Structure 1
Amino acid sequence: MATDKASLKRHITLWPLVLYGVGDILGAGIYGLVGKAAGQMGNAVWMAFIVSMIAASFTGLSYASLGSRYPRAGGASYVTHKAFRSNFLAYAVGLAVLASGLTSMATACRVFAGYFSGLFPLFSVPVIIIGFALSLTIIIFIGIRETIWANSFLAAIEICGLLFIILMGSSFVGSINYLDATTVQNPAGDLAIPLLLSGAVLTFYSFVGFEDILNVSEEIVEPRRTLPKGLLLSVAVASLIYMSISIVAVSVIPAAELALSKQPLVDVIGKAAPWFPPEAFSLIALMAVSNTALLNYVMGSRLLYGMSSQGLMPKFLAVVHPKRLTPHRAILILLVVLLILALSGDISDLARATSVLLLVCFSLMNLALILLQRKDQVKGRFEVPAFIPAAGLVVCMAMLTQANSKELLIAGGILVFIGLLYFFVKPSAEAIEKMDV
């Protein structure tokens, strides 16, 4: 029988945390993103990743600083509460982050089912989705240590697959001009600042995922020291892999051909190592998709638990299983919502809209750090100068200007729904006072 006396257990040390972050950042998107970016940037695709890495790093540094100050399971919701002293804003940020995680999980479930049914056509897509979601639920319920083991295994396979591509394609490196940005839209090949910025907008979302580390703060060993190190190392490792992959890809296959490919990295390895079975990359992609879903599930369950502990969600969610030491009720609630989303059909528009909301949350986190640095607050073990969150805020606001009207409309609808839900749930009036405990 569950009891609210149990609490989350600290099991995550530095290098498992780095694998957690790298696995969350990489995901399966890199397998298609390189082709799209090459179509926009030509051979200079690697520079788009550098610019977007710098842009994302401002917010990453802000998150690292906030994590060293407030290592709490509520993550962005807790920080918002601390900085703005607003129940509603903290509630909205928490649910916006949760919505982004849920759509990522549901999308991953559908992609997994697509890959799996291609390899094993015996099973129908709905059966695969349900089986996959239940498998993730069991792993996450068993314990954070076991979940981190699963993540480390899946992330290691994904990273090894990408390193294999880099190794096999390394002999082609040096054969082209890596500053040539020739594309259909840019026949002159000029590497202008507007082109770099448009490429950075396309690749910026490939760095999203580092923020999820904040939500497992209460399960990290020595979080005030380990969390900032783990977060920054995760971004650094992912950046090196992205840049190396992009350089190798355009070295092996011309950028124009890469842009037209449906499976650019599979085509790259097909030319660089024709003896390697392409089916193996379907399995690696399965691992990457599984890890994306797993880590978003962990993030969502800890976020719900943390918000409930703050008094922003129903108290029955702030319960940890006495034996497994996991927030089992939050896990089960998310399973129900996940299955509804994953089985409902195409949710790509919803996923893009929640990405817009995530940028809003990033903006608020940067603004929160600016405010908290000015207030009489306890300093963290990792402090950054004020221009870092200011730059992060500017970058995120600039990225928001790239959202189209449909994405903004859906995002606005989600916020209206969150607002209505807030007034129905009626979070505890004592929630703000809990911030000082």
Structure 2
Amino acid sequence: TPTAISFSELSGRMPVSAGEAAFVKKGFDSNSLALLIGLMVILSGVVASATIAIGSAGYLSTFFELPRELLITIVILVMGLTAIWGILESVLLAALFTLIEAGGLIALIIFGFGSEATEWDRIHDIIPPLNDLPVLIGVLNASVLAVFAFIGFEDMVNVSEETKNPKRNMPIGILLTILITTVLYSLVATVAVLTVDPVQLAQSDAPLTMVFEQVSTISPSLISAIAIFATANTILVQFIMASRVIYGLAAQNESMKPLAHVNPITRTPIRASLIVIAITLTLALAFDLENLAEMASRLMLVIWTFINLALVRIKMKGITAPEGALVVSIWVPALGAILCILFVIISLFV
């Protein structure tokens, strides 16, 4: 939450594409560090997309008996071409997918809370005994991996230039996203843990479908379809973000100028989008899901650390925010940086 608040203030101060790079440049007065952070943001986007493409292929396999590699390729190419199609079309499609995804999760929560299969007498299992060292280590490792579930809110700053009144609307959008996501994920996790054996859940290629089968009579095919829309939505958003960051960096660096080209017909950075698609496909075919998720989580934690520190430095310099922009205490980004650093240490040494 402190990191989300930091992004909220910075998006009001600097509503630009490649926002993270711009924030770091402003805070640290370093073009090299800004470029490095920008490249890390791009990499985190493609790693996240590759991770989710593998998950999407798992749900697609319930409909099509095709090789996993082919399903992954189809998912990435279709979402990549959609991102190239146009920003308005992509955003509208992402909004539709989001509604379908949210509807599916809400349905799971409702069915789960009313199902006899939900073992409420095991509610205490949701909070593990943290005085047990092996359990505590497991929880800490899982917490780092869970960071992956919240990747995405920071992507919103990269479409600030295409947002009406970003100083007001961007902070509201970021904070609402975190709040709604946290509530939905917490309730879904509760239902999942109380209805399906965690070991079976972890081994499943279609975990949401498994939970729905336990708590409702809805066709598993419908649930798998909803999960496909949900995963496709995340891939699309990551593609939009990564291509915009490449475009933003290219516009600021002479050596990358060709990648700042915007197609006059689609009005999207096609060259940048093609690079994102190619790297995503390569990663998805070369690595497994868990390794990619861990990689994406670590990358984002490092990026978030620098974003929080950038806001700390901006405040220490006494740089005033534009009128109407959100302004928070310096302790908010400081706390965000400390928490991110702790999670990075945990991911490396615990």
Q: TM-score, normalised by structure 2?
A: 0.87
Residue matched to 1:368: 310
Query: Greater CA deviation, 165-174 or 297-306?
Result: 165-174
5+ long unaligned stretches in structure 1: 1-56, 408-437
5+ long unaligned stretches in structure 2: none
2:268 to 313, 326, 329: 326
Residue matched to 1:45: none
Q: How many matched pairs?
A: 342
- After superposition, what is the alpha-carbon deviation per residue over 1:125-171, rounded to whole angstroms, capped at 9, x for unaligned? 44433333332232112211100111011111111111111111222
1:169 to 95, 103, 112: 112
Residue matched to 2:329: 385
Residue matched to 2:51: 107
- After superposition, what is the alpha-carbon deviation per residue over 1:10-60, rounded to whole angstroms, capped at 9, x for unaligned? xxxxxxxxxxxxxxxxxxxxxxxxxxxxxxxxxxxxxxxxxxxxxxx0100
Other structure's SS at 2:121 match: coil
Residue 297 of structure 1: how far off its partner (Å): 0.4
- After superposition, what is the alpha-carbon deviation per residue over 1:211-238, rounded to whole angstroms, capped at 9, x for unaligned? 1111111111111111101000111111
CA contact (8 A) 1:252 1:272 kept: yes
Residue 351 of structure 1: how far off its partner (Å): 4.6
What is the identity, as a one-letter code, of the residue corresponding to 2:166? P
1:310 to 245, 249, 252: 252
1:63 equivalent in alignment to 2:7: yes
Other structure's SS at 1:176 match: helix
Other structure's SS at 2:192 match: helix
Residue matched to 1:352: 294
What is the identity, as a one-letter code, of the residue corresponding to 2:56? F
| RMSD after superposition | 2.9
1:150 equivalent in alignment to 2:150: no
1:258 to 198, 201, 217: 198
Residue matched to 1:95: 39
CA contact (8 A) 2:47 2:295 kept: no
2:218 to 256, 276, 297: 276
Greater Rg, structure 1 or structure 2?
Answer: 1
Residue matched to 1:85: 29
Residue 102 of structure 1: how far off its partner (Å): 0.9
CA contact (8 A) 1:161 1:284 kept: yes
Supply the distance in 1 between the matched residues of 2:46 and 2:10 (Cα, whole angstroms): 24
1:402 to 337, 346, 349: 346
Residue 345 of structure 1: how far off its partner (Å): 4.9
1:119 equivalent in alignment to 2:63: yes
Supply the distance in 2 between the matched residues of 1:136 and 1:151 (Cα, whole angstroms): 10
CA contact (8 A) 1:73 1:216 kept: yes
Q: Percent identity among equivalent residues?
A: 32
Residue 198 of structure 1: how far off its partner (Å): 6.5
Other structure's SS at 1:382 match: coil
Supply the distance in 1 between the matched residues of 2:14 and 2:263 (Cα, whole angstroms): 24
